[in-house]
Amino acid sequence: MVVPSVRDWHPASWRDREALQQPDYEDTEALETVRAHLAALPPLVTSWEVERLKQQLAEAAAGRRFLLQGGDCAERFDECSAAVITNRLKVLLQMSLVLVYGLRLPIVRVGRLAGQYAKPRSADVETRNGRSLPSYRGDIINGPGFSADERRPDPRRMLEAYSRSALTLNFIRALAEGGFADLHHPEYWDLDFVQHSPLAADYRHIVDAIAEAIRFMETVSDAPLHALERVTFYTSHEALLLPYEEALTRFVAHRPGAYNLSTHFPWIGMRTAQPDGAHVEYARGIANPIGLKVGPDMTPSWLCDLLDRLNPDDEPGRLTLITRFGADRIGDCLPPLIEAVRATGRMVLWCCDPMHGNTETTESGLKTRRFENILAELEQAFDIHAAMGTHLGGVHFELTGEDVTECIGGARGLDEADLERAYKSHVDPRLNGEQALEMAFRIVRKHQRMRA
Ligand code: PEP
Ligand code: CO
């Protein structure tokens, strides 16, 4: 098929490039069967939604909205349950309420969910007690258990991932559309443990102030504000497993170009951002807004090359740069990249992921992140952008609505000893519901200090 605006591209053109971080499927016949099966199934999202999100990200780049992107490092098949999904939505809704109130900007809510099943790994194999097996790469590829059976990549898992994504999205759409997300009833979003948190009073204050404002508006207009009864919620995931992404890439009837309709907002991970690599080749041809993770190794010329490939027409909302350097490196790494982007004259949305550059391992071998380091990177991101005349238009967190103990610190002062209590992640450590809400308050506080 000929795509007018993107020369020499088709959904499978990535196959001619080097594709890093892909599983080694032994059963290639099963891979082809799965690919064909997926390609025949309906998409999970629509091109209208994707275009609307792109428009909103363009507005965030221009400072008229703020992006809140968050969710698990990796979703798990066995966590596709009402409680987990509802709690995830609750924490994102609570955070967005705090942000909308404090920043006085509409919030673009994007979950890392309904498809966040594939993980890049730094090592291909994992060795335990002298035995080596392929690394766990996310439920869409293999299982986390340390057995040859679990760790064997199985293409049929892609169908399972598609189904779980559809089930998750179906439930989220129902919650977002009717009743649950109604701003007249923010008490529906209360997470049990947050009610006993040191933040409870601050949160209650915001909820009461918003309720008061709504009552006032409804009295003045003498009509209920129906627009507040639902929210718009978008999905995102790392476009890592390319056979899956390819199979969900569709040409639609009423618009030119191809869309990845497995998600609204795919991103390119830091380990797969080679300009000549398969992931960039795939992403350049789809019409979705694209996130690009930018880590400490990124050079100005590499970034400019990616800007040329991924957004040659400088389309508004197309590219979000999600920076993740670490609290001790952002000061050196971010300014030259801002300068380089500025020199191209192109528009990007700058978003800060303060999680992935701040991972450390405890003496007992658990991966963790410190609340204070996460916050420190975030605050520096605000300051650096302000000092350079750009602005931070979004934040990206790994979080969960569950009461886990994976990150250290926060208002309740979790310490290393607490981590053992409820550490559930098989990959990166997440902020728990309370720490995530606290982060939203800290963003607002930072914003207000900058305005003062
Ligand atoms: C992630 O977002 O889970 C991730 C692996 O990020 P990065 O590519 O920035 O390391
Ligand atoms: Co992660």
Give dist(CA 142, CA 27) in Å, integer: 14
Domain membership flag for residue 1 = no
3-class SS at 170?
Answer: helix
For ligand 1, say whether the CB of 269 is within 6 Å of any of its atoms. Answer: yes
Phi, psi of 202, rounded to the nearest 5 degrees: -60, -40
Domain membership flag for residue 225 = yes
Domain membership flag for residue 342 = yes
Residue 23 and residue 30 in contact, taking contact as beta carbons nearer than 8 Å: no
Q: Nearest Cα to 353, choosing from 288, 427, 269?
A: 269
Domain membership flag for residue 426 = yes
**What local confidence, expressed as pLDDT, does residue 275 receive?**
97
pTM of the model: 0.95
Q: SS3 breakdown of the chain: % helix, strand, coil, rounded to 5?
A: 45, 15, 40
Domain membership flag for residue 393 = yes
Q: Identify which of 356, 374, 396, 428 to mutate to test ligand 1's pocket (most ligand atoms within 8 A of the CB).
A: 356
Residue 451 tokens, joined: 């305005």
Mean pLDDT by 10 residues, the chain (452 residues): 63 98 96 98 98 98 98 97 94 93 95 98 95 97 97 98 98 89 80 74 84 85 82 96 98 94 98 98 98 98 98 97 98 98 97 98 94 98 97 97 93 89 92 93 92 84
Give the count of domains, the chain.
1
Ligand 2 centroid distance, CA of 120 (Å): 9
Q: From the alpha carbon of 324, which atom of ligand 1 is closest?
A: 9
**What local confidence, expressed as pLDDT, does residue 180 receive?**
83
**What local confidence, expressed as pLDDT, does residue 339 receive?**
98
Q: Identify which of 270, 377, 400, 431 to mutate to test ligand 1's pocket (most ligand atoms within 8 A of the CB).
A: 270
Residue 70 belongs to what domain range? 6-451
> CATH number, domain at 195?
3.20.20.70
Domain membership flag for residue 390 = yes
